[in-house]
Chains A and B, each alone.
Chain A
């Protein structure tokens, strides 16, 4: 009898281990984690052999979306109309991350580094690996961050609809900024690169499509410090779901000089009310100073290592 119990226990244990292993393989394959780890290994090798350098020329990448010409945007703007209830989109929204908050919705690529990592060009991987997560990340010290990192894993915004201009005020606007989406013009020529870029919008059915270019190259795609260049293009497709309880935002990020192909992610933002609570990132002066001094100290130490 005792032998029988031991045999049953061993059988259950082996079964559980096997199930866990297969589950892990499946999850790794689904999320791109294996690709990421493999590519990271290749990247480390590239670093050790001294290959890498600055941004390369554009690479052939069939998986990038089509080029958006000014004429295409103008035609799309002329053809589309906002939904009758567009005014009801007004409000304060915050990202839903937990199962309870998501209420059945399923964001694409919730763990964004697994989507970005495998697509980084060698120079971008090299830069990522040699980048300090605090010293080089202005977001850590409540300085401007650009919109990418905010929308990837956290974030809130005030959505203000308008006929000619839609305004999206991101939480802690002194870091993520204010996105003004012009519905009546295309991108100007010779844009001066900025943190928030230049955004134009049009309607595809009930979906607001926002096309943004003209970003500077000082922000990161995610807090895990994946870089981009001034050629980055950001496309947001926004629609109201669940009877107005959520805005679904589907993002596409392209950068032919930093990525080998575009990547996408989606997020669900829950409507919490009419007004946005005051969010000042740089609220605690001592904390801010501490972070900054720490970061500057590390920068100095690194500089001394390079030039003793």
Chain B
């Protein structure tokens, strides 16, 4: 089952990666600056070239064990309702999610800030380097990024089990891996976001979704969760 899962995952990642394998850096060109504020487009919007949001974290192919757990165990209180981080996989699919990308070139870091700071919090993406061996589990995992053409590819592991993968209350296993691609499209006016989750304890095959976010000139608003 796991090998099938891996093969399917690799195929899905290749599909997302496209045919471009030469990085811009190898060509002596600098990667695009993704710096800016982006807001997700609505689910009914279709952009030029037929680009539109597809997939959802609500449609997860659960393993029998995960499906049984979801059916028999109470998921507990939704982290979103308690102003806690909801985890990257669920966060990026939220309606009108608004993010700010702050590259820190001198330190090879890219910071990802969310307007809904309580639920999205702060993500730190390390560009280059290798994945940690046995990272301490955290809400947002440990993320390593690299450039594949114009796309920033982010691989994250080391998540705790406090977040949910979707609104139904599916909890991730310790082996959750997220692979995300952030790519500017339509002359940089939009950001294409693709994510694939692999989790052998929870998902029978990799699952993901695609979202498009519009680059906005507006300043990011304060959105602190108050109860």
Contacting pair B82 A178 (CB below 8 A)? no
Residue on B nearest A142 in the bound complex, by CB: B83
Supposing A160-B111, A173-B117, A178-B113 touch, asked if A276 and B104 sit within 8 A by C-beta, the answer is no
Q: Which of A160, A174, A275, A288 has the most CB of B within 10 A?
A: A174
Residue on A nearest B105 in the bound complex, by CB: A87
Whether a CB of chain B sits under 8 angstroms from the CB of A143 is yes
**With A and B bound together, what is the CA distance between A285 and B102 in angstroms?**
30
User: Could you say which residues of chain B place their CB within 8 Å of the CB of A285?
Assistant: 77, 82, 84
Supposing A90-B104, A177-B224, A178-B117 touch, asked if A143 and B111 sit within 8 A by C-beta, the answer is no
B107-135 contact mask (Cβ, 8 Å, vs A): 1 or 0? 10101010001100110101000000000
User: Could you say which residues of chain A place their CB within 8 Å of the CB of B140?
Assistant: 278
Contacting pair B102 A276 (CB below 8 A)? no
Contacting pair A144 B104 (CB below 8 A)? no
**With A and B bound together, what is the CA distance between A87 and B107 in angstroms?**
9
B201-227 contact mask (Cβ, 8 Å, vs A): 1 or 0? 000000000000000000110101111
Contacting pair A280 B222 (CB below 8 A)? no
In which size bucket is the chain B interface? 20 to 34
Residue on B nearest A288 in the bound complex, by CB: B82
**With A and B bound together, what is the CA distance between A196 and B84 in angstroms?**
19
Whether a CB of chain A sits under 8 angstroms from the CB of B139 is yes
Whether a CB of chain A sits under 8 angstroms from the CB of B106 is yes
Contacting pair A278 B138 (CB below 8 A)? yes
Q: Which of A143, A160, A162, A278 has the most CB of B within 10 A?
A: A278
User: Could you say which residues of chain A place their CB within 8 Å of the CB of B126?
Assistant: 275
Contacting pair A275 B109 (CB below 8 A)? yes
Whether a CB of chain A sits under 8 angstroms from the CB of B85 is yes
Supposing A285-B77, A285-B82, A288-B82 touch, asked if A144 and B111 sit within 8 A by C-beta, the answer is no
Supposing A160-B104, A178-B117, A285-B77 touch, asked if A280 and B111 sit within 8 A by C-beta, the answer is no
Contacting pair A167 B139 (CB below 8 A)? no
A-contacting residues, B53-111, CB 8 Å: 77, 82-85, 102, 104, 106-107, 109, 111
Whether a CB of chain B sits under 8 angstroms from the CB of A158 is yes
A149-168 contact mask (Cβ, 8 Å, vs B): 1 or 0? 00000000010101000010
User: Could you say which residues of chain A place their CB within 8 Å of the CB of B106?
Assistant: 87-88, 90
Contacting pair A275 B124 (CB below 8 A)? yes
Supposing A275-B124, A278-B140, A280-B84 touch, asked if A169 and B111 sit within 8 A by C-beta, the answer is yes
Contacting pair B107 A143 (CB below 8 A)? no
Contacting pair A195 B224 (CB below 8 A)? yes
Supposing A169-B113, A282-B84 touch, asked if A276 and B222 sit within 8 A by C-beta, the answer is no
**With A and B bound together, what is the CA distance between A158 and B140 in angstroms?**
17
B176 CB to closest chain A CB (Å) equals 16
If over half of A's interface residues share one DSSP class (helix, strand or loop), that class is named, otherwise mixed; here it is mixed
User: Could you say which residues of chain A place their CB within 8 Å of the CB of B227?
Assistant: 143, 292
**With A and B bound together, what is the CA distance between A178 and B115 in angstroms?**
10
Supposing A173-B121, A173-B122, A280-B139 touch, asked if A195 and B222 sit within 8 A by C-beta, the answer is yes
B71 CB to closest chain A CB (Å) equals 23
**With A and B bound together, what is the CA distance between A248 and B225 in angstroms?**
31
B31 CB to closest chain A CB (Å) equals 18
User: Could you say which residues of chain A place their CB within 8 Å of the CB of B122?
Assistant: 158, 169, 173, 276, 278
**With A and B bound together, what is the CA distance between A195 and B226 in angstroms?**
11
Contacting pair A174 B138 (CB below 8 A)? no
**With A and B bound together, what is the CA distance between A87 and B104 in angstroms?**
9
Contacting pair B109 A196 (CB below 8 A)? no
A174-200 contact mask (Cβ, 8 Å, vs B): 1 or 0? 110110101000000000001110000
Residue on A nearest B142 in the bound complex, by CB: A278
Contacting pair B226 A174 (CB below 8 A)? no
Closest 3 CB pairs of A and B: A174-B118, A144-B224, A194-B222
A residues adjacent to B (C-beta < 8 A): 87-88, 90-91, 138, 142-144, 158, 160, 162, 167, 169, 173-175, 177-178, 180, 182, 194-196, 274-276, 278, 280, 282-283, 285, 288, 292
Given contacts A90-B106, A195-B224, 9 further A-B contacts (CB under 8 A): A88-B106, A138-B226, A144-B226, A158-B111, A169-B111, A178-B113, A182-B219, A278-B121, A278-B138
Provide a sorted-by-A list of 25 A–B residue pairs whose CB atoms are within 8 angstroms: A87-B106, A90-B106, A143-B224, A143-B227, A160-B102, A160-B111, A169-B113, A173-B117, A173-B121, A174-B117, A174-B118, A175-B224, A178-B117, A180-B219, A180-B220, A195-B222, A196-B222, A275-B109, A276-B122, A276-B124, A280-B85, A280-B139, A282-B82, A285-B84, A292-B227
